[in-house]
Structure 1
């Protein structure tokens, strides 16, 4: 079990080593990819504008903590703050538009550099916008070049420069939407020669941009804190926008809380004007009446009756006072007001039902207004609240009418009672009674005036001491470095891409490559046929080693091949030569190259070798020994019964005296017929008597049947495949030939194997690249 695990671990290690080695062969592509990616990252960082971020923190105050929540229905005593509503109000178009208008963000400034054009917070000289935000209907830009003698402004619409000498635009007639002025000094002389850009945009577009740029998040679950973020190319601009947004939001909340106080003050001011006119009229009436009737004091003999009547009059006074207040409240309700504004509260009506209805009415008005801000006019809840307001208003009318009827009844009863007491003081002149009635009216008006004045002061105090709706935890602060682009992340991503892209290309190439690479590919497709040799790639000028003493990589590889071929040859005791076929699936896999060099390798160990060119359709041996293609050879022997094959022998290599060659000869019209006429068998039998090895260069097996017709004459068949050339699916054809017995004693030889794909003998042959053989 341990041995099995050890073997499995060794196989995994070998696989990993092979995979690593496969990619390390292309190390220069990885190095190039990293260099290109890092250069691209540097150029990206160099030409990308820097973006900075600023953040601020605020706390939404709760009414239960002593301050009112600016946008919630605080009259319901809600202790939980709906931060989502507050976020929507903060990001509402109305609030953001106020910020844009207050900061005048419809005008933006940029500094044009040699590489980047960067947004800045302000220009180094004075600029005054002469156009209203509402008059900006489309985007426009103006390039301002600071020359040595003045400004040169180039509108984007005309591209015609306008020159303003002495750095002052007010002294030159123009139609620009701004005025410029500057006083150059030694401190600001660095601005000369620079170019600035002023851009104008409609307030709606700018508001939409700022609204989209503001990011608001809740800081933790159950927290009342909000974090506001804004990003742009200018740190100062980020901070200004956030601080102004906080200021506008706070003011908006305070204004909401002051609405009731303002409405109460406005109501009382209107009553003051009416009461002042009525008091003036009463005072003048008393003066005129006394002067006309010569009245000064009351009769002392009606003291008891007067005391009783006085008590009754006080009750009647209170009743009439309540009637007037009820009438005033009813007049307020009857005024046309489509928006159902707030009603004055606590004006002195001594009816708990009416006061409760008025308070509920104001409560629903505030709730409706808050819902309109956060949800809109058409929200179902808003429509429901409007209906409830109408119902409540009808109830208030009914209550006031009921209360007025009750007061009228009380007044009638008190009036009758007063008449009874008045009859007891019949001695009082009727004129004095008239004076008393007028005086009573004056006191009623005076008392009501003082009461309303007190209520006005209370409302004014509430208006003046309204506390803020938020607490600023942290004003806007910008971070030190830019948030985009991030240098560290950019270089890291570039480095990773520099590795991934070459890796992906190499992996995809390997995945889509259907050609064999080496021993493992062949063994995977046909493990039953042995592999007797892997031949390295060699340069084209070193295809044939003609020197028996050659010790090159190529010669050593073929000596190993010749040794391995001996092991697959059957043992015979007849001392006759061995016949070895060299074939392949298709043209170009190197069978002729291997046939020649294998025969030379055998000849170099003092063996007599005969090389026969049996590829009668496309002979190639003659090209390696510089002989005529049509020189008499095998085809002549097979066709001419009188031709002796020994007459076709050629010694193509001077340093190999034991090596002879029979070329293919003239290309016949019927190669298959010639190979099966018995003459080829006779040739091999006679050659076995004189040679130790007969190497036969045959035709490709998949193209013609020539090799199959003579395959049984071989003692062994060397089947050539070529790395990076032979398709894997072609090996299935050779597998079928072996399993069916059509090729006798077959063994694979892999040609043109690179160093990374070799079997790994461990001897470091140093195989070279660039082999291109001819078949």
Structure 2
């Protein structure tokens, strides 16, 4: 139960987050945050100051329904649903064809800029006379020309083509050149304002400009139940953007009007073609009638209508109508046959057949629909192929319907002729000459009535052409906001503020996240909460004395080791046998400061008038001799362990004159088999004898993770001081020392943290009343 409670306590400690401590360690680096914030705000100011100003221009249009006023009320009318497909209209508005027309109308493939000190700004035009000499379609590659206005004249260059020309006057007409334009500043009153300024003229292919404009134009409906569309574009030049939007609306309106006028134009062309033939036929009939009267000496003939006048008149009227319909049908059939490319047919020319008239209307609508799809898609497009097939089907239906209609008329005509033959028997007294004259008159009347009918239809078509309704209604012409939409200073400054804080925070977070070093007492207690920390040795600068040589010293070093010596006493077992206490000083790896702590701990105990013996038991890498200026081969522990006749007291040295009660046994000559020497029994004998003469025996042992020397003699210690170094010892190495303590391999273990304060990032301040810095303690 005790182990379970301990584990739970350890987990809680490990999961606990000290928010105040986390904030403090980030605030240690406040200059980084200030510097990053200043740089970010300066960058934001420079961007806002010199970035191009982009404005949004928009307009609103209403798509007019072509069927307004022509259809009966339907469900769509009752529920106020429009028959307009806004998606189709949007696609047409943003189609390449529309963009190409706008580019050509505004000559957008020639653009103008002014070069400033920091940036280049787009202009609607140049502030002087500019004449383009090349046709827009002849521009097949992009090129740009710089025009620099100087006091003497003009300097024009093109780096791509290697052109560099100078003009001694402010006009390019002063000498022969191959430039694609002419410029002239001669007539300007404010010529002095242009001196020193540089302008750029850029030429680009129409296709590239149209595609770029297509990507910039945005068209979207105002609402779900609305017929309004919003057209918007972003650009640097307000005037140029407004011209583009207004021109697009005009081009789109013209396209819709042209679609509606196509049928009227086709009808006019058809009637004009037929007028020529009808005029010739009428002239021929009139001349024939005149010749017939002259040859037969006919001036005035009274018609005998006493027998069958009503029947004959009615029959003749019916024959006249049938002949008229036959003529119109043949004319229409001839037009359909001559129309090999499936163009538009004349509508409402007088055929009294509702089915044929409806087929002609459907056929014309299908032709217009097919032409629109052909303009926006290829011939292999399934929608285009379907539209072509529909036109062909309708054309075939018209042919069949006309053939059937002609057959019916011819049959009716034959029946009327048969009936007229019967009537002719009743009027046999009518002279043959009168009959021939009537036939001539009838043909003349048919042609005259047909001529008048076509003339009437032509006037109707002309009226429809003249009063064609617009396809859109402009709700708002192009408008541009006064404030630029880019750059947005508030958003940029806010982004700079956030970025200026997040960048150093992110860098520090990564540093802290990847940091695996031990830094403070809290790092140890999180991993090994049951092992006490009895001392924290501050970091000492290299230029300061870091050996406790003066027993009366009041330095940071002296005070910290006095505290350590007092805490060591608390962990030593209580005994009344009067023998000295054995304290081991060890660490996990080399470089954590165990020799440094061993020497100063022994000196701290000696400063309170205790007899202290310091033994260098790290036989593989001895370091104590370097601090007392003794030779590495000075006889010591290794000599004693190896030579049974060697007296250990003969190896004692006094390394510090101000500590008369302090003695040191160095490691001696480095042996080839340290582990064997430490277990031959003489080290145990040494400890037992030293305990009789000294109050404290401080043993500087070997690192535990590298060799087993320390574990071989660990049972002789009364307490084990385990040294860890801040900013040096890996946290995962603490688990190794924890295992040594829990398994009993090291007795009565306690931690001492060396070089505390080396890392200010963790916010720990062990202030003993003095200022101290970093020192590399061995």
TM-score, reference length from structure 1: 0.90
1:483 maps to which of 466, 472, 485: 485
Instruction: Report whether the alignment pairs 1:619 with 2:619.
Output: no
1:501 maps to which of 500, 503, 506: 503
Moved more, 615-624 or 97-106: 615-624
- Residue deviations 1:586-645, cap 9 Å, x none? 211001111122122223333333322222332222332333434444444445556554
- Contact 1:537/1:767 (CA < 8 Å) preserved in 2? no
Matched residue, 1:97: 100
Instruction: Report whether the alignment pairs 1:109 with 2:137.
Output: no
Matched residue, 1:537: 539
Matched residue, 1:71: none
1:395 maps to which of 394, 397, 400: 397
Aligned residue runs from structure 1 range 185-584, under 5 A? 185-299=188-302, 309-338=312-341, 340-373=342-375, 376-418=378-420, 421=423, 429-540=431-542, 541-584=544-587
Instruction: Report whether the alignment pairs 1:770 with 2:774.
Output: yes
**Does the C-alpha gap of structure 1 residues 555 and 61 become closer, same or farther in structure 2, counting only changes over 3 Å?**
farther
- Contact 1:517/1:757 (CA < 8 Å) preserved in 2? no
Q: CA deviation at 1:716?
A: 0.7
**Does the C-alpha gap of structure 1 residues 544 and 347 become closer, same or farther in structure 2, counting only changes over 3 Å?**
same
Instruction: Report whether the alignment pairs 1:173 with 2:176.
Output: yes
Aligned residue runs from structure 1 range 678-693, under 5 A? 678-693=681-696
Matched residue, 2:662: 659
How many angstroms apart in 2 are the aligned matches of 1:599 and 1:344? 121
Q: CA deviation at 1:104?
A: 0.8
- Contact 1:519/1:758 (CA < 8 Å) preserved in 2? no
How many angstroms apart in 2 are the aligned matches of 1:362 and 1:679? 121
How many angstroms apart in 2 are the aligned matches of 1:354 and 1:65? 24
How many angstroms apart in 1 are the aligned matches of 2:762 and 2:423? 136
- Contact 1:140/1:199 (CA < 8 Å) preserved in 2? yes
**Does the C-alpha gap of structure 1 residues 272 and 579 become closer, same or farther in structure 2, counting only changes over 3 Å?**
same
Q: CA deviation at 1:99?
A: 1.0
Q: CA deviation at 1:163?
A: 2.4
Q: CA deviation at 1:64?
A: 5.0
User: Secondary structure of 1:170's partner?
Assistant: helix
How many angstroms apart in 2 are the aligned matches of 1:592 and 1:369? 97
Q: Which runs of 4+ in 1 moved over 6 A?
A: 7-13, 303-308, 757-764
Moved more, 298-307 or 652-661: 298-307
**Does the C-alpha gap of structure 1 residues 646 and 78 become closer, same or farther in structure 2, counting only changes over 3 Å?**
closer
- Contact 2:62/2:473 (CA < 8 Å) preserved in 1? yes
User: Secondary structure of 2:18's partner?
Assistant: helix
- Residue deviations 1:564-591, cap 9 Å, x none? 1111100011222211111112211001
Aligned residue runs from structure 1 range 10-21, under 5 A? 15-21=18-24
TM-score, reference length from structure 2: 0.89
**Does the C-alpha gap of structure 1 residues 423 and 531 become closer, same or farther in structure 2, counting only changes over 3 Å?**
same
2:28 maps to which of 25, 29, 39: 25
Q: CA deviation at 1:514?
A: 2.7
How many angstroms apart in 2 are the aligned matches of 1:234 and 1:90? 22
- Contact 1:306/1:425 (CA < 8 Å) preserved in 2? no
Structure 1, unaligned runs of 5 or more? 1-6, 69-73
- Contact 2:538/2:766 (CA < 8 Å) preserved in 1? no
Matched residue, 1:699: 702
Moved more, 623-632 or 102-111: 623-632
Instruction: Report whether the alignment pairs 1:147 with 2:150.
Output: yes
How many angstroms apart in 2 are the aligned matches of 1:173 and 1:375? 46
Matched residue, 1:136: 139
How many angstroms apart in 2 are the aligned matches of 1:406 and 1:425? 28
- Contact 1:302/1:427 (CA < 8 Å) preserved in 2? no
**Does the C-alpha gap of structure 1 residues 507 and 739 become closer, same or farther in structure 2, counting only changes over 3 Å?**
same
Superposition CA RMSD, Å: 3.2
- Residue deviations 1:4-53, cap 9 Å, x none? xxx99999986212222232223333333333333444455556544333
- Contact 2:98/2:251 (CA < 8 Å) preserved in 1? yes
